[in-house]
Amino acid sequence: MSFTPIEDVIDGRHEGEHVDIRGWVYRKRESKDTVFLVIRDATNIVQCTVKRGSSAWSVAKEVTIESSVNLSGIVRGDKRAPGGFEISTDKLSIIGLAEVFPITKDQSEEFLRDVRHLWLRSQRMGAIMKVRSEVLNFVHEFFKKRGFVGVSPPMFISSACEGGATLFGLKYFDKDLYLTQSAQLHLEVLIYSLEKVYCVAPSFRAEKSRTIRHLSEYWHVEAEQAFTTIEDMMSLQEDLVSYVCHRVAEECKKELESLGVDAEKLAKVNTPFKRITYDDALKLLQKRGFKIEWGEDFGFEEERVLAEEFGYVFVYAYPKRIKAFYCKTYRENSELAMSVDLIVPRIGELTTGGARVDDKEELIERLEEFGLKQEDYEWYIDLRRYGTVPHTGFGLGVERLLAWMLNLESVMDTIPFPRTIRRFYP
């Protein structure tokens, strides 16, 4: 037996025809002589009417919200029905009768996260998951067009990339290892054969604070490119972000509309993005009353103000002491790191990237300054021993990108099973 996707019913191509659909009961309402069922499948929802006296009547009375069903009937145009078409039902059978569904109207975000495994059935989460899937497709599409090779980095790692505070340790047989925080160091290995590489992979951070932009497991788009400058890298990042926004605006119209997102706004995310130095950003923040000294990092509040001022903006040339050991410094001023953050409204930092130390002696010095053991990084130092090249790269959090693009309250709403200090079930 073949079933018609509800999307095809709603676009009118089956008007007047008899169709078989299957899915789940999304809404149910009864009047004296009619049961109105809204059925959902993966593609859309459709209203189905069951009249008293039809052979489907008793099943329609019995069926509950979220029961799975097969339903058959004639498609009719009806302006009052959501989507403009409804099905006059003549056959209805229950596949799995649902118990009383715990999600009803107006429940708190917290409750909906507690029952995430059921809330994922909502139209809203469905739309977000479809956009998420497309965003990942467009990321791959972008890098393919630019001649990058997609690579698969390891998740178990023996040397930290982003500092000890957020490292997840684990027992690996009888050794102590970590979950990766970033694929960057391994991507750097691969540029020596492939030159332009990228990956989309999970990163893990033991983030203890609860914020709207931190997860302990997130998906990380990272790229690394040989023979490049920090300017090349900023161009690559802004091209990627605007490409993804434009493609989503074109291809996800239905989902954007259902989420109340203005596609036009995404279509207008154009390059080049503004670029300002850390020093200029600091002056502006001090003028706005922030008590922040040179050398301190910007927090969420500072980034929020910068984004309000500029929209999306690259901040570059940070004090080296607030950036990672691998950051290259400027020849004119060795206190400044060639490191850049892309700041966007509401979310703040969307990406971090930069130029990497490419000199062996300097790298060894930096490891020492950071209290890292040289022996743990011998493989990484080898890259500077054998044919070193200037190179740059960046990392972008997929959940932050989605939360920004879709105006969502938290990164938690962009991933099916968010992991935070408190959430790991189911």
- Residues contributing to the site for ligand 4AD (CB under 6 A): 161-162, 182, 184, 205, 207, 214-215, 218, 220, 222, 349-353, 393-397, 399-400, 411
Six-digit token pair at 158? 């023996």
Q: Which is nearer to ligand 4AD, 231 or 251 (CB)?
A: 231
Tokens representing 336 are: 């400044």
Considering only the stretches 200-208, 275-283, 352-360, 412-420, report the one whose residues sit in contact with Mg ion under the rule CB under 5 A: 352-360
**Residue 196 touches which of Mg ion, ligand 4AD, none (Cβ within 5-8 Å per kind):** none
Q: How far is the CB of 171 from ligand 4AD (least distance, A)?
A: 23
Q: How far is the CB of 393 from Mg ion (least distance, A)?
A: 13
Q: Rule CB under 5 A: is residue 203 a binding residue for Mg ion?
A: no
- The answer to whether 47 and 86 are in contact (CB under 8 A) is yes
Q: Could you tell me the smallest distance in angstroms from the CB atom of residue 143 to Mg ion?
A: 21
Q: Nearest residue by C-beta to Mg ion?
A: 352
246, 271 contact by CB (below 8 A)? no
Shortest distance, position 88 Cβ to ligand 4AD, whole Å:
48
Q: Rule CB under 5 A: choose which of 47, 181, 352, 392 binds Mg ion.
A: 352
Residue type, 202: P
Q: Which does 41 bind (CB under 5 to 8 A by kind): ligand 4AD, Mg ion, none?
A: none
Stretch in the footprint of Mg ion (CB under 5 A) among 23-31, 242-250, 346-354, 386-394: 346-354
**Smallest separation (angstroms) from ligand 4AD to the CB of 426:** 20
Nearer residue to Mg ion within complex by CB, 44 or 184: 184
Q: Toward ligand 4AD, which CB reaches closer, 161 or 317?
A: 161
54 makes contact, choosing from ligand 4AD, Mg ion, none, with CB < 5 to 8 Å by partner type, with: none
Specify the residue, 197 or 350, whose C-beta has the smaller distance to Mg ion: 350
Compute φ and ψ for 85, nearest 5 degrees. Answer: -135, 145
Q: Which stretch binds Mg ion (CB under 5 A): 30-38, 309-317, 351-359, 369-377?
A: 351-359
Q: What is the smallest separation between the CB atom of 348 and Mg ion, expressed in angstroms? A: 10
Task: Note the residue count of the chain.
Answer: 426
d(CA 403, CA 412) in angstroms, rounded, equals 9
DSSP tag of 120: T
Six token digits for residue 257: 């509309």
CB of 195 to ligand 4AD, least distance (A): 16
Of the candidate spans 48-56, 113-121, 190-198, 345-353, the one that interacts with Mg ion by CB under 5 A turns out to be 345-353
DSSP letters along 209-248, please? S--SS--SEEEEEEEEEES--HHHHHHHHHHHHHHHHHHH
Q: CB-wise, 116 or 205, nearer to ligand 4AD?
A: 205
Q: Give backbone dihedrals phi and psi of 52, rounded to 5 degrees, phi first.
A: -55, 140
81 vs 342 by CB, closer to ligand 4AD = 342
Q: Min. distance of Cβ 400 from ligand 4AD in angstroms?
A: 4
Q: Which residues contact 121 (CB under 8 A, 6 or more apart)?
A: 24, 40, 66
**Which C-beta is closer to ligand 4AD: that of 22 or that of 116?**
116
Nearer to ligand 4AD, 63 or 223 (CB): 223
Of Mg ion, ligand 4AD, none, which one sits near residue 393, judging by CB under 5 to 8 A according to partner kind?
ligand 4AD
d(CA 16, CA 189): 62
- In the complex with ligand 4AD, the residue whose CB is nearer, 60 or 396, is 396
- DSSP class of 104: -
Please say whether the dihedral angle defined by the alpha carbons of residues 43, 138, 299 and 279, taken in this order, is positive or negative: negative
Amino acid at 159: S
Tracing tokens 């009547």 back to the chain, one arrives at 57
Residues 6+ apart with CB under 8 A from 61: 30, 35
What single string gives the DSSP state of each residue in 145-172?
A: HTTPEE----SEESS-SS-GGGPPEEEE
Please name which of 188, 189, 162, 164 lies closest in space to residue 176, comparing C-alpha atoms. 164
Minimum gap (Å) between residue 347 Cβ and ligand 4AD: 8
Nearer to ligand 4AD, 399 or 413 (CB): 399
Helices (H), 63-153: 109-114, 116-119, 123-145
Helix, strand, coil percentages for the chain (3-state, nearest 5): 35, 30, 35
- Closest approach, Cβ 284 to Mg ion, in A, equals 20
C-alpha triplet 406, 408, 412: angle, nearest 5°:
120
| From the list ligand 4AD, Mg ion, none, partner contacted by residue 89 (C-beta under 5 to 8 A by kind) | none
Which residue ranges make up the site for Mg ion (CB under 5 A)?
Answer: 352
